[in-house]
A and B are shown apart, each in its own frame.
Chain A
Amino acid sequence: MSAFLQATVYGLLQGGLLALVAVGFSLVWGVMNVVNLAHGAFVILGAYIGWGMHQEFGLDPFLGMFVSAAVLFALGYVTQRLLINLVVNGPIFITLLLTFGLELVMVQGMNLAFSADFRSIETSYAGESLALGSVRVPVGRLLAFALAVAITFLLVALVTRTRTGMSIMATGMDRGAARLMGIRARHVYALTFGIATALAGMAGAMIGTVGTFSPAAAGSFTLMSFVVAVLGGLGNMYGALAGGLVIGLVQAWGGQYLPGTWVNALAFLVLIIVLVVRPTGLVGKAFYAARLEV
């Protein structure tokens, strides 16, 4: 029983972090129909910034992640405004091609700038774990999970209660109508992308504390974002959280009760089954399929 509980706890904690990694990706795909293949690269860049802050200034990564967020927000805003906006009206998946090129440039750039060495951000408390009965709860992961959930709720609040957030939702639903209402679509798109990359950067900084990273890990984060975002329902913030938690739990339970190497196969099987049964994802709503919603 305690093994089951341990696995559940681990699964939830991991899932929360996955959700944070994926929520920006889901936002961008859902609102702007932009498939950002460079998403994982932004996550890793955020991890490097957090690591750099820790190296140079001794800044705790859970504070350093705000620096990551700020830097990556700026970077994302500029990227969307000057680069991706140029092809938004093109045929479907052209953004995929553009972000593919962007990913190559970013990953190689990080390889050259930081070398391919594996990095990790050391904190004194991250390795400690609290004891809940017979179950151990690692502090670092718990903190990351709590922050991920908090940020998701904050994002939902931002989108539903602020004018900026509303303009993002409106532009996502109907860009033409939004522009007629006086919303500056170029700016809103750039803002959305900036928010997405800021979240990716934060997730990256947190990931730096729980494991090791290197430029080559970018691709796996993008892949994971694909799965979690779609599982939950594209464009849906709660969906990303749901998707992340489900994947985290499935992998943790799978790891306990199946031979350890089947966990990934199980996760994909769950994805396929969910999509066949609920074609718009766990929480996605059919009417606004592929649009932002809460």
Chain B
Amino acid sequence: MGSRGLVLASVITASSLAMAGCGSKGEEQIEGAASSGRLAIGASLSLTGQLAREGLLTKEGYQLCQDKVNAKGGVDIGGKKARLDIQYQDDTSKPDVAAQLVDQFNDQGVKLILSSYGSANTEAQAAVVERNGQVMADSAGADNKIFSKGYERTFAVLSPATEYASSIVKAIAELATPKPRTIAFLSADDGFSKTVTQGGIKTAEGLGFTVLDSQFFPSGATDVSSALTRVKGKNPDVIIGSVHLVEGVAIIKQARELEVTPAAFGETVAPPTPDFAKSLGAQAENVLGSSQWTHVTAGQDKYFGTAKDYARDIQAKFGHAPEYHNAEATAACLSFALAAEKAGSSDADKVRDALSGLDTESFFGRIKFDATGQNIFKPMSVIQIQNGKAVTVWPKESAEAKMIWPGTKQ
């Protein structure tokens, strides 16, 4: 190529690199909240990609939080009101982009971070948050693994992954008569689902159940027939799926096709979502599921009232019944508001200290963090699909209906 072309090319390269650095130092610093009346929070969301659905629900949760808090004039920080200003960026469902966004927020001086959706993204973000001295409220990354690394600046409002299947097991142990004897776990092979399965097995063995060999399949699998065929011969009383929506629907559908009929099915994540009952129709009846939150969860706070109030607000603002992804997102945002108020400052270290000492009731349940940053003080709820609707059956204090047992017609 000619010399002129080469020079032209390198000029283009250099100038586009310069443009990538456009808006360089000094232009985008955001002033401290107290002086400008704004509390800036950065949220990296999965608006596109595999997690787009849950990412949108998370965004709705943050938006409602911002509306409700600002409707009261904002957060009271050291006597002055600061309005919440949540800035959104799309991480395209990839952990490396989610981590990059945390760095970008840091450039702009935004130190308070609301997590992305899912354990992989949150894990990537937690590492960066720790390095940069920011502080993160985790709304949707439940894997205990994230909190075993000694991070001190990430706080999860949701119950840890080990509780997802364990709560179903506990509910069965408490409410099912006659009590079943054998449980089989069918699990996706991603980190979160495996942690869920491990937690479930531990609880089940502790409560005296016989746990059959667990079957694993690739995450996102639409065909779980091999796992079901293998388990069929052993006739488990209960089948528990550590899954997400796609595998969850596949298990129920294919179990019917293959005539695998335990006394009950329990699944994580999938049953509380409306798509589950819609996709399966009558086959979804009596499937158990665990949820971080339902509209009868006990507790209330000054911004959102009770869980029922929250459900009404989501319905009014977004036109659909709330899912727990909405609620956990709002709870994370709420923690920031409460922590900033408690600390009387928006400084990252002070907010961090306030969060670690937070202990409050809310529409989401109890928000309090243990030494690793996980919320082990809020129980999960167990729901059951009855007449196409998810109703809470456990814990007994918030149960809306009795658990139907056995779940499948024998």
Contacts and interface: CB of A to CB of B under 8 A. Distances in A.
A261 B218 contact: yes
Interface in A198-256: 210-212, 214-216, 220, 251-252, 254-256
B28 interface: no
B216 interface: yes
Contact of A118 (B49, B53, B189, B258): B53
Nearest to A104: B48
A216 B189 CA distance: 19
Contacts of B245: 118, 212
B281 interface: yes
Interface stretch (B198-206, B248-256, B356-364): B248-256
Interface stretch (B96-104, B220-228, B309-317): B220-228
A7 B226 contact: yes
A136 interface: yes
Interface string B285-313: 00000000000000000000000000000
B270 to A, nearest CB: 10
Chain A: number of interface residues, binned into ranges: 35 or more
Contacts of A252: 225-226
B283 interface: yes
Contacts of A120: 249, 275, 278-280
Contact of A216 (B52, B216, B225, B259): B52
A138 B279 contact: no
A118 B225 contact: no
B198 to A, nearest CB: 16
A6 interface: yes
B230 interface: yes
Nearest to A253: B226
A212 B279 contact: yes
A5 B49 CA distance: 38
Contacts of B254: 138
Given A216-B49, A261-B218, A255 B227 contact: yes
B127 interface: no
A82 interface: no
A127 B52 CA distance: 29
B interface, by DSSP: helix, strand, loop or mixed? helix
Contacts of A259: 216
Contact of B257 (A136, A212, A220, A261): A136
A108 B48 contact: yes
Contact of A111 (B52, B222, B279, B283): B52
Interface centre among A116, A129, A141 (most CB of B within 10 A): A116
B49 to A, nearest CB: 6
B233 interface: yes
Interface centre among A10, A138, A220, A255 (most CB of B within 10 A): A255
Interface centre among A108, A251, A261 (most CB of B within 10 A): A261
Contact of A122 (B215, B226, B259, B279): B279
B258 A119 contact: no
Contact of B279 (A6, A119, A215): A119
Nearest to A14: B223
Nearest to B254: A138
A117 B275 contact: yes
Interface of A: 3, 6-7, 10, 14, 108, 111, 115-120, 122, 127, 129, 136, 138, 141, 210-212, 214-216, 220, 251-252, 254-256, 259-261, 263-264
Given A111-B52, A252-B226, 18 more contacts: A6-B229, A108-B48, A118-B279, A119-B275, A120-B249, A129-B257, A141-B257, A210-B253, A211-B223, A211-B246, A211-B250, A212-B245, A215-B52, A216-B52, A260-B217, A260-B224, A260-B227, A263-B217
19 contacts: A111-B52, A122-B279, A122-B281, A127-B257, A129-B257, A211-B246, A211-B253, A212-B249, A212-B250, A212-B275, A216-B52, A251-B223, A255-B217, A255-B226, A256-B226, A260-B215, A261-B218, A263-B226, A264-B218
Q: Rank and list the top 9 A-B pairs by shortest CB-CB distance, nearest first.
A: A255-B226, A120-B279, A116-B52, A138-B257, A116-B53, A211-B222, A260-B217, A118-B275, A129-B257
